[in-house]
Amino acid sequence: MNLLTDRWMPVIRQNGQPDIIAPWQIAETDNPAIEINAPRPDFQGALYQFLIGLLQTCFAPEDEDQWLEYWQEMPEPEELQACFEKVAFAFELDAEEGPAFLQDFNLPDGETKTISALLIEAPGGKTLKDNLDHFIKRGRVNQLCPSCSATALFTLQTNAPSGGVGHRVGLRGGGPLTTLIFPKASLANLWQKLWLNVLNQEELEPAGKIDSSILPWLGKTRVSDKGQITSPSDVHPLHAYWGMPRRIRLTTKCRNDVCDLCGRSAEVLYQKFRTKNYGTNYDGAWLHPLTPYRFDLKKVNLPLSLKGQQGGLGYRHWLGLTLQDNDNGDKASKTVQFYNEERGRILKDNGSASLWCFGYDMDNMKARCWYESRFPVFYLSELQRNNLTDWAGELVNAAKETVKMLRSEVKSAWFRRPEDSKGDMSQIDAQFWQATEADFYRLLEQLAKLPADMRMAPSEIYASWYEALRKQVFQVFETATLASTPEDLDLRRIVNAQKALRGKFYGNKTIKALKAKATPEEEV
């Protein structure tokens, strides 16, 4: 199968019908594709990134004016088809030898694995032994169609966790977050959803010749058996979209059967692949354009990609994912920054956009689960953006302080010796974050509308947030403590903890500061 000329990509068309298309058909105007229709959520994210990477590599607009032309009117399908055809030689999935998509150029020996091991949550040897394979039951995925195999390859190579000695992690580290700008307008087609995330050539160096510095499988693998690293200066910047840390070659096939993942029948299906360690070891200051990073505030360590989190993604991550969090150095991805500073202008009067954020929560080599969230984004002037960063930071900090007190007092209510208990309190945190989320976004929306010359946010905002925190901290506490089973219930301990929580909340410095700002000046 050729990934640029054959039809393999599952989509939904405007009339709601599913279809299978070749990538260039995203530009068809008659009943256009409006969404990807992958069989799994991680594949959905992978196919988006495949198409964005493809457009960025083969069809990047010269400047923002050209970007806008294609935003207003998508290219002719034939134009895109001709453009993709020029690099089709690099996108064969299957080849006896030489280049094959995201596979090692030359891998004569290695360990043979069943195809299900391409899936990121696939149980490894130890998991199988411990009988812990919740995600995929062993023996359930034995053969994959070319479409699922290609998507699984991309998903693994772009998210690769550490996989044992010499099995390298992805270019963004294991299980990075990806953030894509998503048009809010319900009629947006797939082309627009992708195009919003493609940078112009002034922002990202265009491809000259398509070779292994961009698509690493076109040449011999930059191996790491002697500790060699591959840093950004060793390859082309577009390499970031096509990182290939794992040495893999699809091998054993069967014919005319049904795919164990998507359920479609295929002429050829893959059952096994060959793999070997010491593939490319990405190191250095890599910055993937679609991923937010944490920058070391002391500028000593390299930027680290933000990862999926146990407990999920919520408004406490909003600043770092969409703008920048000055407390911890988290900063939005390059494409999101560009949207904030320039491109957002286009959508401002046009239904605006949101941020789609997704990734695995990895526990070292194991995928615990898959997270995705939508966040609001705002196109603002620089002054407004700075204001919003400060104000949102204040609100989130007050909430973080509150959740700390809540967690500690729920623990005191639950356990006779809270300091010794190692109970998981993340449920309590999650309840509090969830209970205050709607209020946060409501206030954020109001803050984003304020004029740039407004230095102080209005006192009503602070008052409203103070009330939300006060109400929810006691409510979540009560639900958590009174929901205990009667034999565990020690009323005196609960009442004491509640009293302590009151004392802490009303006496807290951050909360007091919030309360002070909540009081209009003339009343002070």
Where on the chain is the footprint of Zn ion (CB under 5 A)? 145, 148, 259, 261-262
- What is the rounded CA–CA span in Å between residue 211 and residue 214? 6
Phi and psi for 276 in degrees, rounded to 5? Answer: -150, 150
Q: How far is the CB of 192 from Zn ion (least distance, A)?
A: 27
- What is the rounded CA–CA span in Å between residue 58 and residue 81? 11
Nearest Cα neighbor of 373 from 309, 323, 312, 456 is 312
Nearer to Zn ion, 137 or 404 (CB): 137
Which parts of 364-484 are beta strand (E)? 366-376
Nearer to Zn ion, 259 or 380 (CB): 259
- What is the rounded CA–CA span in Å between residue 252 and residue 274? 9
- Helix (H, G, I), strand (E, B), or coil: what is residue 500? helix
Nearest Cα neighbor of 32 from 192, 241, 143, 190 is 190
Nearest Cα neighbor of 123 from 153, 67, 163 is 163
Nearer to Zn ion, 149 or 481 (CB): 149
- Using CB atoms within 10 A of its CB, is residue 382 exposed (0-12), middle (13-18) or buried (19+)? exposed
What single DSSP character describes residue 205? P
Nearer to Zn ion, 244 or 261 (CB): 261
Nearer to Zn ion, 20 or 68 (CB): 20
Nearer to Zn ion, 40 or 502 (CB): 40
What is the amino acid identity at position 34?
A: I
Q: How far is the CB of 1 from Zn ion (least distance, A)?
A: 12
- What is the rounded CA–CA span in Å between residue 112 and residue 104? 14
Sequence-ordered list of residues with C-beta below 8 angstroms from that of 304, at least 6 positions apart, any chain: 173, 293, 294
Q: How far is the CB of 268 from Zn ion (least distance, A)?
A: 11
Nearer to Zn ion, 263 or 520 (CB): 263
Nearer to Zn ion, 50 or 375 (CB): 50
Q: How far is the CB of 259 from Zn ion (least distance, A)?
A: 3
Helices (H), 269-381: 318-322, 334-338, 344-348
Q: How far is the CB of 45 from Zn ion (least distance, A)?
A: 17
Q: How far is the CB of 147 from Zn ion (least distance, A)?
A: 5
Nearest Cα neighbor of 408 from 394, 397, 393, 421 is 421
Nearer to Zn ion, 46 or 261 (CB): 261
- Using CB atoms within 10 A of its CB, is residue 165 exposed (0-12), middle (13-18) or buried (19+)? exposed
Q: How far is the CB of 212 from Zn ion (least distance, A)?
A: 28
- Helix (H, G, I), strand (E, B), or coil: what is residue 101? coil
Q: How far is the CB of 122 from Zn ion (least distance, A)?
A: 16
Nearer to Zn ion, 8 or 84 (CB): 8
- Helix (H, G, I), strand (E, B), or coil: what is residue 70? helix
Q: How far is the CB of 359 from Zn ion (least distance, A)?
A: 23
Do 112 and 249 form a contact (C-beta atoms < 8 A)? no
- What is the rounded CA–CA span in Å between residue 313 and residue 356? 11
Q: How far is the CB of 104 from Zn ion (least distance, A)?
A: 23
CA dist 212 → 104, 157, 340 (Å): 11, 16, 33
Nearest Cα neighbor of 251 from 114, 153, 151 is 114
Nearer to Zn ion, 262 or 405 (CB): 262
- What is the rounded CA–CA span in Å between residue 239 and residue 253? 30
Do 214 and 235 form a contact (C-beta atoms < 8 A)? yes
Q: How far is the CB of 253 from Zn ion (least distance, A)?
A: 14
